[in-house]
């Protein structure tokens, strides 16, 4: 009779940031294993549980024993298995012995290519009793454990390794305990409630009673998803009742996940701090509350920080005053520290801190932060000019950008670098543009992060990332596999996004990717350890560009077509991709793409014979080639005018009119004529057409 199977591993507190992944992995491995052995039906119900002190899964309709299954083993071909007289050969007899079968029990059948001998038998189904322990061991081995710890078992001499010490194992098939042993634990039906508010030991009569008994007697919400939903609902209801909000959702979500992994029976309470602390930049207070204390700061309708905050406690009590008071006493000194650092830091101007950067090593092979700052300044000035900004403002912002690394606040809270620089720059009397650029120059910090909003900020951010890319790549610290200790992939993607999404004042002055990489490497002329490698770094950045474009939904063929023509003017990539998408919808598209591919193949086989060869119209003898030449002469100026106006879609639409003469040319003209003059002239005609057609993208890559 099919029964639900419950497996629970009870442990000490698991790493909160990894708990959700641990629970999903634990359940997935066990479920996949049960289904692979025929012990659980595909698509059956699965309940996943994860709390700070347990990982568990319940699988519905698990069999005690899987159904027997037919097994067919392919043997030697008939040509090998039988001799000329049709008698079994030694090869067949040995293979049959290996299968434990008699010759007469073998079946002769085709494998789709030739006749072979097969041995067909019935294998007994796996039993749950035999399968469960290996499955649990496999599930534990596959857990994405951040860091393994070793601990001794109760016998005092046996050591085991796991993410945290484990203290209990439940394996229940319906009401029956299935024997298993892992991490020195024997399976049973005993689970455990909340550390302080629930029953210590809870005997489970049946697998289906798991979450109800834990909730009722144990004061534990076993489901991660249900617990998270309860917390979120309580937070939003409490915030709404106070007339405030939880703020930026992108910041709320990860904190909600982490807090859910810290509590088993959540309750939400309101705490507060003195309003005088609001004089400190709110980023400092928010970081302290979220990162150090796991509190949820609250905000008014204008996004200003409120003096109240929400606490997610692991205890639900009638009078939470002690809990609230305790949390307020803990957070108050941290806020006081933030205020102290802020007041002390303001006593020294950012510009007066910059000489100290000479004592801060950036990289052993690349020099100090002061030397790095000079390289970034040079790049920022150039970029500001190219982007239509103020080179002097970019230079000043780049000079001050790293100075806040020397402040007490950033020393205590490194996450605030840039943000605190903006506050200190404003206090020092720097312009709003320079202060904003200091804050923006780290952007984008992660995938999907906002780009700098100002031209000066964009110039300094690009300069900072290009300097990092060239310097780190130049000393040979190239990303490999999953290893990217200097976040070059992130820096490359930031460069890509800024060059694409931040328009320049004048298209003619827009920087090219290769030009910027050459300029970045040039800043290291006096650094012997750096070897310029523009080609390799260019390929690396373009690879990031390809991935980013694919994530935006552009077909791989379209991306290849566009980048094959120009992978340097990144500001023109998206318009050209949009033009390709519009071109694909034209009825002429596939025919022209196929013709373009054919022309490219002909020109490649000619090995450059047509390159630079002037077309001799006197040698155009066939009506179809004369008609194509006339069509090109009529179409080219209109297409060029569209291209000059950066109307890529219009240019491709104009070129679509060449379909009829191109098709007629290939139908009526022999390109590889015996006469070398005719052959060369026809190739020259096609070379001009090929170059005209591929100004927007390599259309041959669109051919299906």
DSSP assignments along 451-491, one per residue: PPSSHHHHHHHHHHHHHHHHHHHHTT---BTTB-TT-HHHH
* Residue-level pLDDT at 71: 85
Average pLDDT over residues 276-284: 94
Max CA-CA distance within the chain?
104
Average pLDDT over residues 460-478: 96
Q: Tell me the fold of 572-702.
A: Isoleucyl-tRNA Synthetase; Domain 1 (1.10.730)
pLDDT at 91 over 70: yes
139-158 burial, b at 16+ Cβ within 10 Å, e below that, comes to bbeebebeeeeeeeeeeeee
pLDDT in tens, 449-460: 899 999 999 999
pLDDT at 159 over 90: no
* Residue-level pLDDT at 462: 97
What span, in angstroms and rounded, lies between the C-alpha atoms of 592 and 641?
21
pLDDT in tens, 18-77: 999 999 999 999 999 999 999 999 989 999 999 999 999 999 999 999 888 888 899 999
Average pLDDT over residues 394-417: 95
66 vs 241, more confident: 241
Tell me what the pLDDT averaged over the chain comes to.
92
3-state secondary structure of 390: coil
**Residues sharing a CB contact under 8 Å with residue 560, sequence separation 6 or more, in sequence order:** 698, 701
* Residue 489 burial (CB count, 10 A): 16
Output phi, psi for 76, to 5 deg. -70, 155
Please, what is the angle between helix 556-565 and helix 534-551, to 10°? 150
Domain 351-553 has CATH 1.10.3210: yes
What span, in angstroms and rounded, lies between the C-alpha atoms of 229 and 234?
9
DSSP-derived secondary structure for 286-298 = HHIIIIII--EEE
Output phi, psi for 57, to 5 deg. -145, 145
pLDDT at 613 over 90: no
Structure tokens at 355: 């000489």
Average pLDDT over residues 280-287: 93
pLDDT in tens, 192-209: 999 999 999 999 999 999
pLDDT at 504 over 70: no
């Amino acid at each position: 009779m099919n029964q639900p199977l419950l497996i629970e591993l009870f442990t000490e507190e698991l790493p909160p940031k990894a708990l959700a992944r641990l629970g999903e992995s634990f359940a997935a491995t066990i479920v996949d294993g049960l289904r692979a052995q025929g012990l659980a039906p595909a698509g059956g119900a699965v309940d996943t549980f994860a709390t700070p002190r347990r990982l568990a899964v319940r699988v519905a309709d698990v069999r005690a024993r899987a159904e027997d299954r037919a097994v067919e083993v392919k043997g030697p071909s008939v040509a090998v298995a039988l001799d000329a007289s049709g008698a079994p050969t030694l090869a067949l007899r040995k293979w049959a012995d290996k299968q434990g079968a008699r010759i007469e029990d073998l079946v002769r059948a085709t494998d789709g290519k030739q006749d072979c001998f097969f041995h067909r038998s019935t294998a007994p189904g796996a039993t749950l009793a035999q399968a469960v322990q290996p499955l649990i061991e496999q599930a534990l081995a596959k857990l994405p454990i951040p860091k393994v710890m070793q601990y001794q078992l109760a016998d005092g001499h046996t050591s085991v390794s796991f993410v945290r010490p484990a203290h209990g194992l439940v394996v229940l098939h319906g009401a029956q305990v299935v024997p298993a042993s892992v991490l020195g634990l024997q399976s049973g039906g005993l689970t455990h409630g909340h550390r302080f508010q629930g029953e210590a030991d809870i005997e489970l009569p049946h697998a289906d009673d798991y979450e109800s008994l834990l909730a009722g007697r144990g004061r534990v919400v076993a489901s991660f998803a249900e617990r998270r939903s309860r917390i979120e609902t309580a937070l939003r209801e409490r915030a709404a009742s106070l007339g405030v909000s939880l703020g930026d959702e992108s910041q709320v979500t990860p904190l909600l996940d982490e807090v859910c992994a810290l509590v088993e029976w959540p309750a939400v309470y309101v705490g507060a701090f003195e309003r005088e602390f609001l004089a400190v930049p709110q980023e400092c207070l928010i970081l302290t509350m979220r990162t150090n204390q796991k509190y949820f700061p609250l905000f008014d309708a204008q996004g200003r920080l409120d003096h109240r905050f929400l606490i997610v406690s692991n205890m639900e009590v009638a009078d939470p005053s002690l809990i609230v008071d305790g949390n307020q006493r803990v957070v108050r000194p941290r806020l006081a520290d933030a205020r102290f650092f802020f007041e002390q830091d303001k006593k020294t101007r950012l510009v007066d801190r910059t000489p100290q950067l000479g004592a801060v090593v950036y990289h052993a092979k690349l020099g100090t932060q002061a030397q790095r700052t000079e390289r970034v300044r040079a790049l920022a000035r150039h970029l500001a000019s190219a982007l239509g900004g103020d080179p002097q403002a970019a230079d000043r912002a780049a000079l001050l950008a790293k100075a806040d690394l020397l402040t007490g606040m950033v020393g205590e809270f490194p996450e605030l670098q840039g943000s605190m620089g903006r506050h200190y720059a404003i206090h020092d009397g720097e312009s709003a543009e320079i202060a904003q650029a200091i804050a923006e120059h780290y952007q984008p910090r992660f995938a999907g992060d906002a780009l700098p909003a100002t031209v000066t900020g964009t110039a300094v951010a690009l300069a900072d990332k290009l300097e990092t890319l060239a310097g780190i790549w130049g000393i040979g610290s190239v990303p490999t596999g999953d290893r990217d200790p200097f976040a070059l992939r992130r820096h490359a993607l930031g460069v890509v996004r800024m060059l694409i999404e931040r328009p320049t004042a004048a298209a003619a002055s827009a920087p090219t990717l290769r030009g910027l990489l050459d300029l970045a490497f040039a800043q290291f002329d006096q650094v012997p350890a750096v070897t310029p490698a523009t080609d390799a770094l260019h390929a690396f950045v373009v690879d990031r560009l390809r991935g980013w474009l694919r994530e935006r939904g552009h077909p791989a063929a379209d991306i290849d077509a566009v980048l094959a023509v120009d992978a340097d003017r990144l500001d023109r990539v998206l318009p050209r991709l949009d033009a390709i998408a519009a071109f694909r919808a034209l009825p002429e598209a596939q025919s022209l793409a196929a013709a373009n591919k054919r022309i490219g193949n002909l020109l490649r086989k000619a090995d450059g014979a047509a390159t630079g060869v002037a077309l001799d119209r006197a040698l155009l003898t066939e009506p179809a080639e004369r008609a194509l030449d006339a069509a090109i002469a009529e179409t080219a100026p209109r297409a060029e005018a569209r291209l000059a106006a950066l109307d890529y879609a219009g240019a491709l639409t104009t070129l679509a009119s060449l379909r009829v003469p191109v098709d007629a040319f290939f139908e009526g003209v022999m390109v590889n004529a015996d006469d070398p003059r005719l052959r060369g002239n026809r190739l020259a005609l096609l070379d001009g057409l090929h170059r005209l057609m591929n100004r927007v993208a390599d259309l041959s890559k669109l051919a299906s």
